[in-house]
Amino acid sequence: MSFGGGGSDPIDNYKPGKGKSRVVKTPAFNMKYAVSSGAEPAWPTTVGATITDANGITWQAIRARRIKSTVTGVFGRANFSAESLSVYPDDYFQYGIVTWLTGENAGLKVEAHAFRKLPSPNIELFEAMPFVITEGDTFEIVQGCPKTRTACRSTFNNNHNHRGFPDMPTEDKALATPNFSQQGTPKKQDSGGS
């Protein structure tokens, strides 16, 4: 594809000083973020607590979906605990992504298979980490998504972006056929005789 000019990189032809300009399309959505009333409110940190800013907008604190924590117990390369996660319910981080910030696994990401709150907050990973997890390693974990319509609606309030096919029958249902030899077939009668 060529944009004109003689350079090997089409973008080179549209850099400043080349005598040409890029066409910039207006975005379909124009979002503007600003601090209400010119000052940042003192945000509450208790789940459910509210604050009303100077413009009369009421904000409610929700449970954080991205958390940084420290490993407090290790049960293998795919299983560890973090006491700071004790405020989160079971399965809150299931299917979430763990990103290692420090330790031998720093920079690596892996999906969480399960999260159990009791007896201590325990994260089980889908795959074992390539290096040993040690107490004191820090990580970031993001709340997981089971990719169901119910979770999109109730957990994330994002049902319009679900993009799944929850009403499509599974392979078992789609390929199932009735067993005609057993359904509605009259039993053979003896023809009589001696």
In a domain, 120, yes or no: yes
DSSP assignment, residue 151?
Answer: H
pLDDT, tens digit (0-9, with 9 covering 90-100), for 42-67: 888 788 888 888 888 888 888 888 99
Residue 99 lies in a domain: yes
* 94 occurs within a structural domain: yes
In a domain, 56, yes or no: no
Percent of the chain with pLDDT over 90: 35
Confidence of residue 184 (pLDDT cuts 50, 70, 90): low
State yes or no: pLDDT of 141 exceeds 80: yes
Are 129 and 105 in contact by the 8 Å Cβ rule? The answer is yes
Residue 58 lies in a domain: no
35 domain-assigned: no
Q: Is the pLDDT of residue 74 over 50?
A: yes
pLDDT tens per residue across span 11-25: 444 444 554 444 444
C-alpha span between 96 and 106 (Å, rounded): 17
As for how many domains the chain has, the answer is 1
What is the CA 168 to chain-centroid distance, rounded?
22
Which domain range does residue 72 map to?
A: 68-142
In a domain, 116, yes or no: yes
| Mean local confidence (pLDDT), 146-171 | 81
pLDDT higher at 12 or 194: 194
Residue carrying structure tokens 């509605």: 184
- Residue 161 lies inside a defined structural domain of this protein: no
29 falls in which pLDDT band (50, 70, 90)? very low
Residue 78 clears pLDDT 90, i.e. is over it: yes
